[in-house]
Structure 1
Amino acid sequence: MRAQSPAAARKGAFVAVAVALFCIQLDFFALNLAIPGIAAELDVSASTAQWTLSAYMLAIGCFFIVGGRVGDVFGRRGTLLAGIALFTAGSVGCALAPGLGLLVGARVLQGIGAAFVFPVSVSVITNLFPDETRARALGAVFGVANIGTALGPFVGGGFAEGPGWRWIFWLMAPLGLLALLITLVYVPDSRDTSAPRALDLVGCGLVVCALATLTLAVERADAWGWTSARTLGACAVAVVTGGLFLVRERRIRHPLIDLRLFRNVPYVLVTGMGSVANMGYGVTVFLATLYLQGVRGLSPIVAGTVFLAPAVLVALSGPLGARLGRRMRPTAVMALAGAIAGTGMFALTLVSVWWLYVPVFAWCGLGLGLGWTYSSVATQQVVAPARAGEASGVLLTFLVTLGAIALAGTAAAISALTPQHPAEDAYDAVLRLGGVVIFAAAVIVMVVRHRLVALGVVPPLSMRADEPGVRKT
């Protein structure tokens, strides 16, 4: 790679990372509406076709921590290139897959690639941009990525009714190649110089096994039965391997995760609030899809159009979070997001007039999007840049794993409620509970923060977040 000026490297890295994250977000949110089309073409049931989503979630959730730490230890440029290449190759494999088995396998490849791209992208920006512009750059990157979130349902619905679901993956191929080339030319390398070029392979195996069995148990519990031998066995394996992983990380000299990270209270608050917001986002999108198509009877493309309003505000939440972050502490921004999201989810259940549904849905999307998007920015403000990939990988693992648990719990709750109650009432009951939980989490964040201020651990809100020499918590 030829030498680049710092300004050119920053611009190139920004474009490469933004395009890569845009592809990942667009791919994930587009495929949800294409499941019926996949089932019909491959001659399988809709529940079987759901494995195209479950396999991706399994792969991406299991490898976030590994991907983030590989980038920190062996170099972020090479790890980013590998991740984009895997994601692009998986996209082509999905587009060409003649049957469900190969499609699911290609989705796993996509998921592993995405799991490397996401945390390493965050750490590339964190280590390349100076303190005064880092939050703005991260916010803008997630703003571009969230455009993919916004367009996902619309693109998925359009392709499902038009040329077919395979074109979702064909769209990813040229965009992935573009991100790959820009990364190759512009992105400089960086790594955690305090860590040896060695990876805790045993720790990697343990954490992947723990997360895989936990996610599998949660994803399939509704089909297997929550008290079935398979579900309980998978949970037991997850608990045992997770416990062994924690024991190993406490004893090994260069751990995959430095457990002291969890002594950083602002990091824990941001991660917790971000996880709750992401759970709410997944549940709200899932229930809104059921409501719009099952209760209102909208077609996939019309339902995707309704999603544009909240999705646009989700896209704007990235830059908005960066702007708020210059005036408010990260924990305060996260609590504000929780308050907006909680009230939005609860208000969504009170809307009876159709034309009010879209703006309330948009308000809800703003809070939820700000919560899970800004958490990736906020964690980078409260940890050392050298371990940015590790911190981002841990955060993303919590986001995805807890999001999967929330979706599985929601599906189980809907299955239990709908025989005795109308579907709309069941959806409203879950949304109300979610709104209360998210709002309560926002209150807890501010109560804990107030206590930390009283103890002198963190600065008060009255001090500007960009004041030199003040820790941004």
Structure 2
Amino acid sequence: MGPSTSDRASGTAERAGALAAVSIALFCIQLDFFALNLAIPGIAADFHVTVSAAQWALSAYMLAIGCLFIVGGRLGDLLGRRPVLLAGIALFAAASVGCALAPSLGVLVVARIAQGVGAAFVFPVSVSVVTNVFPDATRARALGAVFALANVGTAVGPFVGGGFTDGPGWRWIFWLLAPLSAVALLLGLRYVPDSRDESAPRQVDLPGCLAVVAGLAALTLAVERGSAWGWDHTRTLALFAGAVVCGGLFVWRERTCRHPLVDFGLFRNVPFDLVTVMGAVSNMGYAVTVFLATLQLQQLRGLSALLAGTVFLAPALMVACTGPLGAWLSTRTRATSVMALAGAVAGTGMIGLSLVQAWWLYIPVFTWCALGLGLGWTFASVATQQVIAPARAGEASGVVLTALVVLGAIALAAVASAITALTPETGPEAAYDAILRTGGGVILGASVLAALVSRRLAARGLVPAPQRR
């Protein structure tokens, strides 16, 4: 006998509730990061510190989230996605209250680290929850819906951050996040079922966790603060050396451990490697483009934080649309081909931004650029689930997200150094344009290479064909 009508309705309600829980949680994470960028001057003024010091409110968050994606994703696979997801949401909500009440920059930075830890557990586990709750026929569409709502946070983040900073104050960003996170937690408690990698033993590779966290922490901190300290400063060089040592220890540990945190056999999956590389390149381009656009709008154009956030709405809304667009493309085109297409759009957009002179052309070109960049880094998570077995969804998602975040931070550090070197000779506008053209050329080159590799893989039957719905 097949399932009864009530069983089907119950299953549908559970899937819808789980989808809502993870979507709201990811919306909060995206809103948090993109809103606080424009609030840094307000935080500096409120605590009577320099903007460079206030930047730790962003750096601390990036440090925590970049270090723990792999750990969070694998813990979900081993210990159960439901408890790890709920713990992450609860921590993020509590830390949001801590950020709103922070009496000093030091307390705010600690609370931001706690937020980053919660987000690092939520993000990869959310993807694997959806992967394991939804059947093959609707999985891509469900992931597209999740990233559509999450990317709305990306879209409204600059507007919310600029509006609150110019209005009632930056603390209201966190007062908004706290109740929204609580809603996600309640939905998760009610609807998210548990799932895990049943083939793996219930043992966590603690030495591997320590090695990867220490290595990524050292690397992220070095690239985040290198331009401020100096790339040849003792602290910067010591952090890079520590990252190399910890990275070597991590590789050695994972190759010799019976139950590794990351099975390096994952990287023998060429489609997975291609998706990861193109997703990372797209996210690097996105981070660089948003950073340079913020400087252009506020420094060169003289716009306020609120007006700059308003200009970001159209491009960011386009990013939000890339979630369902990626789901639609996944049923018609191979995942690796979608990633190559995204790179082509992103590369031409970045180059176009460097050539635009008329102000009225800036927004549509920026929107076109956001389409490619957003599709590239958003679809990376959807594509990962197509080329990896569902049981290893958390592990694979953690690896991909780590690559996206850490390489995005490295790209921003490189851009900051390039601006410092180029501006005295060319002026800020020419420096920004040169960086955009270089970045666009790199993404276009990666897109061409990805298209060639994708075609070869498809000819050999190594890339899953799209499943039309």
Q: TM-score, normalised by structure 1?
A: 0.96
Aligned residues: 462
Quote the offset at 1:451 in angstroms: 2.7
Superposition deviation, residue 419 in structure 1: 1.0
Report how far residue 467 of structure 1 moved.
Answer: 6.2
User: In structure 2, what is the equivalent of residue 88 of structure 1?
Assistant: 93
AA aligned to 1:145 is A
Please list every run of at least 4 consecutive aligned residues from structure 1 whose deviation after the TM superposition is greater than 3 angstroms. 453-459
Select which of 424, 427, 431 maps to 1:422. 427
Unaligned runs of 5+ in 2: 1-6
**Does the C-alpha gap of structure 1 residues 467 and 41 become closer, same or farther in structure 2, counting only changes over 3 Å?**
closer
Which residue of structure 2 lines up, in the alignment, with residue 161 of structure 1? 166
Correspondences of 1:353-432 after superposition (within 5 Å): 353-432=358-437
1:456 deviates by 4.5
Of 345, 356, 381 in structure 2, the residue corresponding to residue 340 of structure 1 is 345
Question: 1:334 Cα deviation (Å)?
Answer: 0.4
**Aligned partners of 1:223 and 1:105: how far apart in 2?**
21
Residues 172-321 of structure 1: matches in 2 within 5 Å? Answer: 172-321=177-326
Residue in 2 that maps onto 1:29: 34
Look up the equivalent residue of 2:257 and give its one-letter code.
I
CA distance in 2, matches of 1:454, 1:295: 49
Report matched runs for 1:54-65 at 5 Å: 54-65=59-70
SS at match of 2:426: coil
TM-score (norm 2): 0.97
- The alpha carbon displacement at 1:196 in A equals 1.5
Which of 107, 116, 136 matches 1:111? 116
Cα deviations by residue, 1:122-148 (Å, 9 ceiling, x for unpaired): 000000000010000001100000000
Q: In 1, Cα distance between the equivalents of 2:140 and 2:457?
A: 23
* Matches of 1:453 and 1:189, distance apart in 2: 35
TM-superposed deviation, 1:458: 3.8
Quote how far apart the aligned CAs of 1:465 are: 1.0
Which letter maps to 1:212?
Answer: A
Q: How far off its partner does 1:453 sit? A: 3.6
Q: Deviations over 1:171-227 (max 9, x none)?
A: 001001000000001111111111111100010000000000000110111011111
Using the alignment, how far apart are the partners of 1:227 and 1:39 within structure 2? Answer: 27
Higher mean alpha-carbon deviation, 418-427 vs 108-117, is at: 418-427
Q: Which residue of the other structure, out of 157, 162, 175, is the alignment partner of 1:152?
A: 157
Q: In 1, distance between residues paired with 2:287 and 2:468?
A: 36
- Stretch deviating more after TM superposition (439-448 or 277-286): 439-448
- Shift in Å, 1:455: 4.1
In the aligned structure 1, how far is the partner of 2:82 from the partner of 2:462? 36
SS in 2 for 1:418: helix
What's the secondary structure of 1:253's corresponding residue?
coil
Q: In structure 1, what is the Cα distance between the partners aligned to 2:375 and 2:348?
A: 14
246-255 or 337-346, larger mean C-alpha shift: 246-255
**What are the residue-to-residue correspondences of 1:68-87 with 2, within 5 Å?**
68-87=73-92
**2 CA distance for matches of 1:29 and 1:458?**
34
Q: Distance in 2 between matches of 1:373 and 1:278?
A: 9
Q: How far off is 1:316 after superposition?
A: 0.1
- Which of residues 322, 328, 333 is equivalent to 1:323? 328
Give the Cα separation in 1 of the matches to 2:326 and 2:76: 26
| Code of the aligned partner of 1:225 | G
Letter in 2 for 1:13: A
SS in 2 for 1:342: helix
1:323–1:467 CA distance, 2 compared to 1 (3 A): closer
Asked whether 1:41 is paired with 2:46, we answer yes
Task: Give the whole-Å Cα distance in 2 for the aligned partners of 1:448 and 1:316.
Answer: 27
Tell me the CA shift for residue 440 of structure 1. Answer: 0.6
CA contact (8 A) 2:347 2:439 kept: yes
Equivalent in 123, 127, 135 of residue 132 of structure 2: 127
CA offset at residue 230 of structure 1?
1.1
Q: Deviations over 1:420-439 (max 9, x none)?
A: 11111000000000000011
* CA deviation map 1:16-52 (0-9, x unaligned): 0000000000010000000000000000000000000
Partner of 1:465: 466
User: CA shift at 1:457, angstroms?
Assistant: 3.4
Q: 1:351 & 1:458 partners in 2: Cα distance?
A: 38
Structure 1: distance between partners of 2:466 and 2:69: 29
Distance (Å, rounded) in 2 between the aligned partners of 1:382 and 1:454: 16
Provide the rounded CA distance (Å) in 2 between the counterparts of 1:326 and 1:456: 17
Pair 1:18-2:19 in alignment: no
**Using the alignment, how far apart are the partners of 1:458 and 1:16 within structure 2?**
31
Instruction: Check whether the contact 2:351–2:441 (CA below 8 A) recurs between aligned residues.
Output: yes
Q: How far 1:111 sits from its partner (Å)? A: 0.2
Per-residue deviation, 1:450:
2.4
Residue 7 (structure 1) shift: 1.1
Tell me, in whole angstroms, the C-alpha distance in 1 between the residues paired with 2:463 and 2:183. 43
1:328 alignment partner, SS class: coil
Partner Cα separation in structure 2 for residue 322 and residue 454 of structure 1: 23
CA contact (8 A) 2:96 2:174 kept: yes
Task: For 2:451 and 2:266, locate their aligned partners in 1 and report how far apart those are by CA, in whole Å.
Answer: 20
In structure 2, distance between residues paired with 1:78 and 1:223? 39
Q: Calculate the aligned-residue CA RMSD, in Å.
A: 1.2
Write the letter of the residue equivalent to 2:396.
Answer: A
Q: C-alpha separation between the residues in 2 aligned to 1:467 and 1:179?
A: 32
Return 5+ residue gaps in structure 1 as ranges.
Answer: 469-473
